[in-house]
């Protein structure tokens, strides 16, 4: 089965709200995690990443949190905008060969 | 700087036909890979390459061949297409040792 999964397949929020997308992973040997955004008809785009020696990393309007104790990863998007509507994937890396293992994705729908 | 370029964007094949999906990158990345994306599923790794002349299998390699004669190009060949290969195919690349992948815009393939 999938070693990386998501709790919510669809998340609907209002513009301006904060969004939280969750991801569970099962391999404690994973040392790198990454979030991608995929808009309809396009390839995945990098959002933010984090290594296992960190608990939190912030970018522009996005924050990734890593809880190694419960093998949980989350992506927080502040002040969500309609342009944030997309499918979000988490992925992990174990081998170090850039061979990412992806979760199934969560669709984020932002209403104006 | 075009990034990762995939051609064609759309393709319809009949069962048993062969074709090659093209992927080229102009970032001088050593690592290149092919993923397929099916509805409700994350991206699954087909084949990857860590440099010219070196290829290896991913999670779902059956029915696909690859070669890497140059750093820039990494074509994916379907020798005898099957309906189960109907999917969206993404090519990705990165610097060796850098897990952050850059993706192309995808090829939507339908096998009838």
Q: What is the CA radius of gyration of chain B?
A: 13
Beta-carbon count within 10 A of B40 CB: 8
Do A7 and A22 contact (CB within 8 A), yes or no?
yes
Q: Does the CB of B104 have a partner CB in chain A at under 8 Å?
A: yes
The partner residue sitting opposite B101, judged by closest CB among A41, A100, A103, is A100
* Distance from the A50 Cα atom to the nearest Cα atom in chain B, whole angstroms: 11
Q: What's the pLDDT score for residue A95?
A: 64
Shortest CB distance from A44 goes to which of B44, B99, B103? Answer: B103
Q: What is the CA radius of gyration of chain A?
A: 13
- Name chain B contacts of A105, Cβ cutoff 8 Å: 42
More confident residue, A88 or A4: A88
pLDDT for the residue A42: 93
Taking the C-alpha atoms of residue A19 and residue A8, their distance in angstroms, rounded to an integer, is: 12
CB neighbour list of residue A57: distance below 8 Å, 6 or more residues apart: A48, A49, A50, A63, A64
Q: Tens of pLDDT along chain B (112 residues)?
A: 689 999 999 999 999 999 999 999 999 999 999 999 998 778 999 999 999 999 999 999 999 999 999 999 999 999 999 999 999 999 999 998 788 999 999 999 999 9
Contacts of B58 in chain A (CB under 8 A): 99
pLDDT tops 80 at residue A67: yes
Q: Is A84 on the interface with B (CB under 8 A)?
A: no
Residue B89: closest CA among chain A residues belongs to which residue?
A43
Nearest to A103 among B35, B42, B90 (CB): B42
Which residues of chain A have a CB within 8 Å of the CB of B105? 41-43
> Do the bridges between strand B10-13 and strand B107-111 make them parallel or antiparallel, or are there none, so unpaired?
parallel
Q: What pLDDT, on a 0 to 100 scale, did the predictor assign at position A4?
A: 52
Nearest Cα residue to A67 out of A22, A18, A10? A22
């Amino acid at each position: 089965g999938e070693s990386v999964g998501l709790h919510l397949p669809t998340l609907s929020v209002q513009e301006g709200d904060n969004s939280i997308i969750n991801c569970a992973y099962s391999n404690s040997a994973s040392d790198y995690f990454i979030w991608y955004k995929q808009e309809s008809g396009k390839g995945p785009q990098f959002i933010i990443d984090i290594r296992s020696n960190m608990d939190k990393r912030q970018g522009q309007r996005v924050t990734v949190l890593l809880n190694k104790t419960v093998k949980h990863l989350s992506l927080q998007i502040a002040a969500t905008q309609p342009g944030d509507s997309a499918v979000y994937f988490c992925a992990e890396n174990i081998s170090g060969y850039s061979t990412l293992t992806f979760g199934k994705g969560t669709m984020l729908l932002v209403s104006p | 700087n075009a990034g990762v370029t995939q051609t064609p964007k759309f393709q319809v094949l009949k069962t048993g036909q062969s074709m090659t999906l093209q992927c080229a990158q102009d970032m001088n990345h050593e690592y290149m890979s092919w993923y397929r994306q099916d509805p409700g599923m994350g991206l699954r790794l087909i084949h990857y390459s860590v440099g010219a002349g070196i290829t290896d299998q991913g999670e779902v390699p059956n029915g696909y061949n690859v070669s890497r004669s140059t750093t820039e190009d990494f074509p994916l060949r379907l020798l005898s297409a099957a309906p189960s290969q109907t999917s969206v195919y993404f090519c990705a690349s990165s610097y060796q040792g850098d897990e952050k992948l850059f993706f192309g815009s995808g090829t939507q393939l339908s096998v009838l």
